[in-house]
Structure 1
Amino acid sequence: MKIAIIVPMEIEAEYYRKYFHSGSRKMFGSTVFEHFYVNQNDIYLGLSGIGKVQAAINLTCLLSQVNIDLILMTGTAGSLQQEVHQGDLVIAKTFSYHDVHNTLAGDYVEGQIPGEPAVFDLDSCERNNFIQFIHEQNLSYQEGLIVTGDSFIGSQEQKDQIKSNFPNALGVEMEGAAFAQVCHHFKKPLIAIRAISDNGDDGANDDFDLFAQKSAAKAAKIICKYLEKMK
C-alpha cells in the first residue's frame, strides 16, 4: 500500500523519524515528503502546515501525483467536553468546520459549505481495521465529531461559542475537516487521530507547548506500531 502520514508541525514529524530510517525526499507542490518503506508499504511523511488552506493544498499536491491508498492524519486537538481530558486519544468519526456559517444562505446546517456534505464522514474499511487494532492493543480512546477552524482556541468564550453550534463535538483543531474534504473528493480513506493537548479554554496557551510534544509522541507510537503489523 501507499500510505501518507501528514502532521501539522515539525515537532510531530520528528517522532516518526525515530521509527523510519533511510528515507528519500521529494517535493510535492510546496511541501517536502519523506519516502520510507515499512513492512512492504510505501510511506510518505509530510507536513500539512497550520490551518485549513495549507492542509488542503499540501494533501491535494500529494494526491494529484501519487495514487495514495490511505491517509493517516495525526496531531493534537483541544478538548470541548469535560469527559475529554489532556492526553486522551480521539479518533475522528466525522469532521465539520466550526467557522463556516451558511444557514442564512439556504438549506444548510452549521459548518456546511454549499455543495459539500453536512459533515464529512470518515467511515471506511480501513478505519474499521484501525479501530480493531486499537481494541487489540487495549488502548482507550473516544470517537466522534471533531471540528476545524483557522483560529487557535484559547478562551472559554471561543469554546462556548463552538459548543453552542456543535454541542457533541469532542475536540477542536485547525486542519482535519480540510483533510476530510480533500479525501472526500479524491475518494480516499482517512484515519484521523488527535491526542488532546489542552482544554481549549483560557489555559490553552500555557498548556499547548507542554503537551503538544507528549501528545504527538503518543500518536506516532500507535501509528508506527500499526504500520508494523500491516500486511
Structure 2
Amino acid sequence: MIGIIGAMKVEVEGLKKELKDLKVTTISGIEFNQGFLNGTPVVIAVCGIGKVFAAICAQTMILKFGVDKIINTGVAGSLSPDLEVGDMVVATAVCQHDMDTSGLGDPVGMVSGLNQIFFETDKALQELALESARDKDFKCVTGVIATGDQFMKDTVKGEFIAATFKAVAVEM
C-alpha cells in the first residue's frame, strides 16, 4: 500500500476526492483516508506542518496501515532560477537543511546515528512521477529537496541551502 502525506489540507484535498471505497480512521488527531486511487490501495493524510508531524504520520501509516511506500506531496519553494510557480520537482534525494551538529564536528545536515546527509528516494516512484508529469505536460525537474522546520523567506538562507546541499527546492 502507498501512503500519501501532505502537510496542509489543500495539498491532498484533490486526491482525497478521487478515493473509492473510502474508510476514514482518526489516530492521534490525524485523519487517515484509506481507499483506492485509480485502482491502487492508498492511505492519504494531512499530517500538519513540520518534520515531527510528518514522522508521526509516516510511522502510523507504516505500523497501522502497512504502507511500504510513502509519497510526500505539497508546496515547496524554488531554489532554482529555472523553476516557476506550478512547476513540479521530483526528489532524487532529500536532506534536512536545519539539522546541525557541526559543533560536534559533523557537517551541517548530518543525521547523527545514521551518519547521512542525503536520503535517496525510490527510483521506481521517481519514474512514475516523471511519467505522470510528461503525460500531463507539466514542466518537471529532478533534484535534491531540502526540508526543515522553518518557513523560508530569507533569500540568503535559501542561497546557503542551494549551495550547501545542491538543492533545487526547499519545503517545510
**Scaled by the length of structure 1, what TM-score is found?**
0.66
Counterparts in 2 of 1:76-225, with a 5 A limit?
76-106=75-105, 108-116=106-114, 117-166=116-165, 168-174=166-172
Equivalent residues of 1:29, 1:58 under 8 A apart: no
CA distance in 2 between counterparts of 1:89 and 1:154 reads: 20
Provide the rounded CA distance (Å) in 2 between the counterparts of 1:137 and 1:158: 33
* Structure 2 spans left out of the alignment, 5+ residues: none
Q: Distance in 2 between matches of 1:137 and 1:163?
A: 28
8 A Cα contact 2:8 2:46, kept in partner: yes
Report the counterpart of residue 58 of structure 2 in structure 1. Answer: 59
AA aligned to 1:109 is P
Indicate the larger mover: 133-142 or 8-17: 133-142
Identify the residue that residue 32 of structure 2 maps to in structure 1. 33
Cα 1:130/1:165, change in 2 over 3 Å = closer
Change in 2 beyond 3 A, CA 1:171/1:59 = same
Q: What amino acid sits opposite 2:41 in the alignment?
A: D
* Distance change >3 Å, CA 85–CA 38, structure 1 → 2: closer
For structure 1, which segment, 117-126 or 142-151, has the greater mean C-alpha deviation from structure 2 after superposition?
Answer: 117-126
1:12-47 deviation line (CA, Å, top 9, x unaligned): 232123322451211234311011123443221111
The alpha-carbon deviation at position 94 of structure 1 amounts to 0.7
Q: Does 1:13 find its partner at 2:12? A: yes
Secondary structure of the equivalent of 2:49? coil
* Change in CA separation of 1:21 and 1:41 when aligned onto 2, cut-off 3 Å: closer
| Cross-structure match for 1:220 | none
| 8 Å Cα contact 1:29/1:61 also seen in 2 | no
Greater per-residue helix proportion: 1
DSSP-derived class of the 2:80 partner: coil
Give the whole-Å Cα distance in 2 for the aligned partners of 1:22 and 1:136.
Answer: 26
Instruction: Tell me the secondary structure at the aligned position of residue 43 of structure 1.
Output: strand
Q: Work out the CA distance in 2 between the residues paired with 1:125 and 1:17.
A: 23
For 2:161, what is the secondary structure of its paired residue?
helix
- Aligned CA distance change for structure 1 residues 160 and 136 (closer, same or farther; 3 Å): closer
- Residues 53 and 119 (structure 1 numbering): CA distance in 2 closer, same or farther, change over 3 Å? same
Any idea what SS the aligned residue of 2:57 has?
helix
Per the TM alignment, residue 173 of structure 1 is displaced from its structure 2 partner at its CA by: 0.7
Residues 7 and 47, structure 1, Cα contact 8 Å, conserved in 2: yes
Cα gap change, 1:41 to 1:87, in 2 (>3 Å): closer
Cα distance change, pair 62–123 in 1 and its aligned pair in 2 (3 A): closer
SS at 1:82 equivalent: coil
TM-score by length of structure 2 reads 0.86
SS, match of residue 144 in structure 1: strand
Q: For 1:156 and 1:124, how far apart are their aligned partners in 2?
A: 31
Give the superposed CA RMSD.
2.1
